[in-house]
């Protein structure tokens, strides 16, 4: 190799994702690249121009822009750009300008494509860098504020490109090229506007489902599009769209207003609104090959939690992000369990319960889970497998910081590892025969979500709960009484009442005496109005919309929930900062006068809401 190529090779060895490649491959790359120099202020890539190389920044700095001219990212030595265009029709999607005099290495498009296809770790790193790079040198604080308040519609930069459902795949590809987009919305123009959207087709669909499958170009677009749409409403928050993309593993989200397409947002549109840490943790979870590697991520989870608080995230975003991380741990552990034990003898659905299902999980949490089994389940033949699977997951979660449930609400307990028909009978009995034990089970299991396997069974159980509970006044009255057993910590003169037993005397348990009573009373109201939501904030909005609360009390409850949750969250973050194992207990003397006053007001709102709950769901009263 020539001296210049040796220098290139040494540079590549020092930077990811290049360092993930075998050394002989790196040598091939070093021998294949060209070198280009750009003066400060010069245009490197123009929007829509043909691109034939992947750019690696050797020195200097460049700025990457969105199509609307807004700054998207700033890169320095070791950064790379141009991959979006190479992976999508070889047209520049993000224009680039030299901020300083810059030296770049140019990797031929064909070699980049070969590396991307043949080396999974390399491809993964390229993708995760694209998903997580944020504008590092401009308006960082403004971005953090926008994350909390920005609505999805603010990210839509152009009208959606629509394609008739009668079109061919060839027409779809031509349309994408002409419009310089990577996704088209497929519509049936014979339907009403709010029902016209029938699917989405992306450039990846054309590649995977048409070209790779060897289908003719005249294949109807309906045969290569995705008809099971993941979408967001125009008025949802940016972080909600980010979570949906993570959860459903999609890169394009149609944005709808009352069923009518407003536009399409992509992963690059959304990454600037989310902390790099959260995305890194989720990606790392799914890349882990052992339980030990998952356990090593616990410090990163805590770092992500603390970072969101430092950036003034609200409780809903923090709870949702931590639930996504917790759900990802479960899913990866289940993958590892099946690799170890072999495929399951019958289909199953692994359930998340409680705060994870409500997307209100924090850093201090235990594991509540269960398994729904196929009705063909035979205990003698199959149960040993599912006990081993449940044990593997429970032990793995415990190693990752999710404590075993003291009440035994885990899939390792045979009671909570049953066929679908048994679960259906469970819920029917709990609602129709509300004994104290059944009511306790209801308060735990009525917040459930399928996270693995036949998740439609979880949807079926949620539907069963709604249909049976909504008009059962006796059951609702019993649930209301159960919800009143945990009261806010206020004395006769509205002073705080402290814990007197256990390890945390002279403190207040913010979960048991704060967020839990709120979640309980909101759940009862939600059942009575037939809400299909699981998150307490979303349930509360359904309750407000149903107009069963007095004017103003719904927003008051929402503010109380946010304040109490944030006091609990900040206390846990302070414990982490101090090197103390976090818990749910706070000492009022450690609060400022302002915090104590507002916390007292919030607890008063909860107390009044519990009085109304007792009145509304009196035995025999029609709700």
Structure-token match 């506007």, residue found: 193
3-state secondary structure of 17: coil
Helix 436-445 × helix 473-483 angle, to 10°: 80
* Averaged pLDDT score across all residues of the chain: 85
Mean pLDDT score, 555-566: 90
In the predicted structure, residue 143 carries a pLDDT above the cut 60? no
Give the separation between CA 31 and CA 405, rounded to whole angstroms: 57
> pLDDT of 250-302, one tens digit each?
889 999 988 899 999 987 776 544 444 566 788 788 889 999 999 999 988 88
Classify residue 445 as left (phi > 0), alpha (psi -120 to 50) or beta. alpha
| Cα atoms in the 13 Å half-sphere on the side-chain side of 288 | 28
Residue that is written with structure tokens 């659905």 in the block: 349
pLDDT tens readout for residues 205-220: 999 999 999 999 999 9
Within 19-161, strands assigned E span 34-38, 43-45, 53-59, 62-65, 71-75, 80-81, 96-98, 102-108
What strand order describes the sheet that includes 448-453?
Answer: 417-419, 369-373, 348-353, 448-453
Indicate if the pLDDT at residue 140 is higher than 50: no
Q: Let me know how long the chain is.
A: 623
Q: How many Cβ atoms from other residues are within 10 Å of residue 100's Cβ?
A: 14
- Can you list the alpha helix ranges (DSSP code H) found in 400-535? 420-432, 436-445, 456-469, 473-483, 516-528
Peptide bond into 17 cis (omega under 30): yes
Least confident of 49-63, 128-142, 269-283, 560-574: 128-142
Query: Is the pLDDT at 540 greater than 90, yes or no?
Result: yes
Residue range 36-49, pLDDT digits in tens = 999 988 999 998 88
What is the phi-psi region of residue 102: left when phi exceeds 0, alpha when psi lies from -120 to 50, beta otherwise? beta
Please state, as a whole number, how many other Cβ atoms lie within 10 Å of the Cβ of residue 622.
Answer: 6
Most confident of 289-298, 310-319, 482-491: 289-298
Tell me the whole-structure pTM to 2 decimals.
Answer: 0.59
Question: Residues 587-591: what's their mean pLDDT?
Answer: 75
pLDDT tens-digit profile of 157-169?
889 999 999 999 9
Note the pLDDT of residue 412: 95
pLDDT tens-digit profile of 494-503? Answer: 555 655 555 5
**Cα 460 to Cα 465: distance, rounded to the nearest angstrom:** 9
> What is the predicted pLDDT for the residue at 187?
95
pLDDT above 50 for 442: yes
> What's the start-to-end Cα distance of the chain, in Å?
83
Judge contact between 163 and 177, C-beta under 8 A.
no
Residues of the chain with pLDDT > 70: what percent?
A: 90
Scanning 433-472, the segments in alpha helix (DSSP H) are: 436-445, 456-469
Q: What is the dihedral sign for C-alpha 423, 429, 434, 437?
A: negative
Q: Is the pLDDT of residue 420 over 90?
A: yes
Q: What is the mean pLDDT of the segment spanning 476-493? A: 80
Does position 139 have pLDDT exceeding 90, yes or no?
no
Per-residue pLDDT tens over the stretch 574-584 = 888 888 888 88
Domains and CATH numbers, the chain: 3-137 (2.60.120.10), 146-273 (3.10.580.10), 276-469 (3.30.460.10), 480-616 (1.20.120)
Residue scoring higher pLDDT (184 or 579) = 184
Give, in degrees to the nearest 5, the angle at Cα 119 between 113 and 120. 110
pLDDT score recorded for residue 492: 43
What confidence tens digit (pLDDT) does each residue in 379-390 have? 999 999 999 999
Q: What is the pLDDT of residues 333-360, one digit of tens each?
A: 999 999 999 999 999 999 999 999 999 9
Q: What is the DSSP string of 154-191?
A: GG--SPPPEEETT-BHHHHHHHHHHHT-SEEEEE-TTS
- Whether 300 and 400 have beta carbons less than 8 Å apart is answered as no
Q: What is the mean pLDDT of residues 170-183?
A: 94
């Amino acid at each position: 190799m020539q001296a210049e190529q040796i220098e290139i090779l040494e540079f590549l060895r020092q930077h990811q994702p290049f360092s993930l490649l075998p050394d002989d491959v790196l040598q091939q790359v070093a021998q294949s690249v060209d070198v280009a120099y750009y003066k400060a202020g010069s245009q490197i890539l123009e929007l829509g121009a043909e691109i034939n190389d992947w750019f690696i920044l050797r020195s200097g700095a460049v700025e990457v822009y969105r199509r609307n001219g807004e700054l998207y990212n700033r890169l320095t030595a070791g950064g790379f750009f141009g991959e979006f265009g190479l992976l999508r029709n070889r047209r520049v999607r993000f224009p680039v300008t030299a901020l300083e005099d810059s030296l770049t290495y140019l990797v031929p498009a064909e070699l980049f494509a070969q590396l991307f296809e043949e080396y999974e770790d390399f491809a993964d790193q390229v993708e995760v860098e694209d998903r997580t790079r944020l504008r590092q040198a401009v308006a960082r604080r403004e971005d953090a504020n926008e994350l909390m308040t920005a609505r999805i519609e603010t990210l839509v930069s152009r009208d959606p490109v629509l394609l008739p459902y009668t079109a061919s795949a060839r027409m779809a590809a031509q349309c994408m090229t002409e419009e310089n987009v990577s996704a088209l919305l497929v519509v049936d123009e014979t339907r009403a506007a709010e029902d016209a959207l029938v699917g989405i087709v992306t450039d990846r669909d054309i590649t995977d489902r048409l070209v790779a499958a060897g289908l003719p170009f005249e294949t109807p677009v309906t045969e290569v599009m995705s008809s099971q749409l993941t979408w967001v409403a125009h008025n949802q928050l940016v972080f909600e769209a980010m979570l949906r993309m993570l959860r459903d593993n999609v890169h394009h989200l149609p944005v709808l207003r009352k069923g009518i397409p407003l536009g399409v947002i992509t992963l690059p549109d959304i990454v600037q609104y989310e902390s790099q840490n959260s995305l890194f943790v989720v990606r790392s979870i799914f890349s882990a090959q052992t339980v030990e590697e998952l356990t090593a991520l616990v410090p990163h989870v805590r770092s992500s939690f603390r970072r969101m608080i430092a950036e003034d995230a609200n409780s809903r975003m923090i709870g949702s992000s931590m639930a996504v991380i917790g759900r990802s741990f479960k899913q990866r552990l289940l993958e590892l369990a099946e690799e170890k034990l072999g495929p399951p003898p019958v289909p199953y659905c692994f359930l998340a319960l409680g705060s994870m299902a409500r997307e209100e999980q924090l850093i201090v949490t235990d594991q509540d889970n269960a398994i729904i089994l196929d009705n063909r389940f035979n205990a003698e033949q199959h149960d040993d497998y599912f006990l081993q699977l449940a044990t593997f997951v429970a032990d793995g979660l415990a190693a990752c910081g999710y404590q075993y449930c003291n009440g035994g609400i885990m899939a390792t307990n045979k009671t909570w590892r049953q066929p679908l028909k048994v679960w259906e009978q469970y819920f029917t009995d709990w609602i129709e025969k509300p004994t104290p034990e059944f009511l306790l089970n209801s308060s735990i299991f009525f917040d459930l979500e399928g996270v693995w396997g036949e998740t439609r069974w979880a949807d079926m159980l949620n539907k069963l709960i709604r249909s049976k509970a909504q008009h059962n006044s006796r059951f609702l009255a019993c649930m209301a009484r159960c919800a009143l057993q945990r009261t806010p910590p206020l004395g006769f003169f509205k002073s705080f009442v402290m814990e007197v037993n256990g390890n945390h005397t002279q403190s207040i348990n913010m979960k048991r005496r704060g967020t839990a009573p709120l979640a309980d009373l909101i759940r009862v109201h939600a059942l009575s109005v037939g809400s299909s939501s699981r998150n307490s904030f979303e349930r509360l909005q359904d309750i407000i919309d149903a107009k069963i609360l007095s004017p103003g009390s719904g927003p008051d409850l929402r503010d109380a929930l946010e304040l109490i949750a944030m006091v609990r969250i900040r206390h846990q973050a302070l414990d982490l900062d101090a090197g103390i194992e976090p818990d749910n207990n706070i000492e009022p003397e450690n609060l400022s006068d302002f915090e104590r006053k507002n916390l007292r007001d919030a607890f008063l709102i909860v107390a009044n809401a519990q009085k109304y709950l007792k009145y509304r769901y009196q035995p025999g009263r029609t709700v």
